[in-house]
Every structure is written in C-alpha cells, then in structure tokens.
Amino acid sequence: MPRGDLFPDIAPYETGLLPLSGGHVMYWEQVGNPRGQPALFLHGGPGAGAGAVHRRFFDPGHWRVVIFDQRGAGRSRPLGELRENTTPHLVADIEALRRSLGIERWLLFGGSWGSTLALAYAQAHPERVTGCVLRGVFLGRQAEVEWFLTGLRRVFPDAWAAFVEHLPAEERGDILGAYLRRLCDPDPMVHLPAARAWSQYEGSCSTLLPSPDTVASFAQDRTALGLARIEAHYFAHDLFLPEGGLLAHMGRIAHIPAEVVQGRYDMVCPAETAFDLVAAWPRARLTVVPDAGHSALEPGVRTALVSAVERFRRRG
C-alpha cells in the first residue's frame, strides 16, 4: 500500500563540496541506501536551498538520494553569488555531480523552480533520467513571473502590499528592477531587509491556510538572501531558458514517465501551468490535490508526493 506521510528523519551517510566554475563551491549530500535506486532532489527558488525535511520524501531502505544546494544557495558558497549563475550552469553542475558520484541514471524530484530545473536538465540529458516527480510546476514563462510580481495581489492583497511598501512609491512601477538593485547592493543594511521582504511575501502566499512557521522559515537570513537575490536575478533574465521555453522542447522527453502533483489552490504557481505541461507530455500523470496550496509540506501534497515516489519504486 502507498505510504501516507513522510518517512522518519535521517542523516546523510556522505556529504561533500564540489568545486565549480566561477569560484562557486556546491554542497551535496547522500542519504538512504548507498546501493539503492538513485534519485536527485532539486530545491526551489531559485536560490532557496535544501533542508533536512526534503530527505523524508524517500524510503531510505530503497533509494539512494542525492541532495544539493544550487549555486549561491543554502550551504553552497558564496551565498547569493550571481556571477556565472544561470540555468545552463546549473544543468552542467548536475551533470558534474552525477559523474563525480558514479551514477548512470536517476529519478528527478523537484517542486516549483525545482520542477523547472528538472525539465531543463531532462531535456538536455534525457538518457540520464529514469523519470520525474514534479510539484507546483513553474515553466518560467513571462506571464508566470508577472503573476508572482503583481497578480498575487488579487488573492493576497495584504501580503502584496507589504511586499511593495518596502519600495519608495516612485519605484513601484518596476518592482523587479527596484528589488534587484537593493538585493545586489553590497550593504547588508540594504540587501537583507529587501531579501526578507521578498521572501516573506513568497512564504505568506505558499500555503492554503496561514502558516507562521512557513513565513518564519522563509525569513531566515540564509534562506532569504539566496532566495530573493537569485530569484530576482533569474526573473530579470527570463530564467535563462532556451528559445521558445521548456514546452517547445518536450519532444526530447516524451518517452520519460512523470508524476505531476499540483495543489488546486496553489497561488504561487497556479494549476494552469501543470495542466499545460501534462497536455504536452504523453507519459505524465497529474494528481490535483483538492485542499492544498503551493508548499510541498501541505498535508495532501506531501502524501501525494510520497505516493508518486513509491510508484516509481515499483517500476524499478
């Protein structure tokens, strides 16, 4: 029978630091069964970093799970570094990590920006991917970015007001540009308050019901700076995605099976995007969670994600 909730807490059996281009150093860890079926966890943001709870979507007796913090995020260094930080760089980093760990093929698991990066990697290296488990799908289209920056005020006017009120009135006509200037300012007295305002906005809109713990986790300095600065940087450059976007290249991965989990009331990445993706992917199965928002830790979403991973376990 499919498991109903997350697996118990587990510590990594191996951790490491992988030098990358541009002075970046990637933190990575492995958990679970060293001889198990390989899976790669891709965190959101971009820039949010991974946490201990993300290890718990996988049965540690079966899966060999690789988790890493993307360039500039989490435990990777330098924190919030934007130089040589693009989607093609991240795709190349994943390949470098795969080769260094001696993994032939793996299951990709990613939500929000993690789903974007999973798709970009799979399209670049389809021969390395056994399947995908995606949540809260984000395709990086301009309309999706605009929804985050301005459209969310229709549902969360109070959170959006706090978000824009961090900016002087005369700069609110270009929210992204105004935030990016502050987030890239070298003075912590400038960039840290901006990072907290951006991240708290995202956290406030991520769950169906108010979750002070979620907002507090987004507001932590390490999370906030990496998330806000790198997210704004990627938004300003159309997520560094290929011409035509990800949907234009779905033919490369049409043969790869996928499980897509989507909260019905996901306001950060509305359900329309997941439906668009599944319509272009013959082997994708969509599960809509009727009582959930964006967060992977919403009760219905985490149950659906664990069940999706278990279905790939049975496929072998």
- Catalytic residue list: 112, 266, 294
Structural element, H or E, at residue 116 = helix 113-124
Angstrom distance (rounded) from CA 272 to CA 264: 10
| Tokens 């979620």 found at | 214
Contact between 301 and 263 under an 8 Å Cβ cutoff? The reply is: yes
Contact between 66 and 28 under an 8 Å Cβ cutoff? The reply is: yes
Give the DSSP letter of residue 167.
S
Structural element, H or E, at residue 17 = strand 14-19
Name residues whose C-beta falls within 8 Å of residue 126's C-beta, 6 or more positions apart in sequence: 252, 253, 255, 256
Residue of 138, 72, 53, 58 whose CA lies nearest to 106: 58
As a whole number of Å, the end-to-end CA separation of the chain is 16
Strand order in the sheet with 258-263: 14-19, 25-32, 63-68, 37-42, 106-111, 129-135, 258-263, 284-289
Angstrom distance (rounded) from CA 98 to CA 211: 36
Three-state DSSP at 235 gives: helix
Distances (CA, A) of 287 to 42, 103, 173: 20, 29, 38
Angstrom distance (rounded) from CA 137 to CA 57: 18
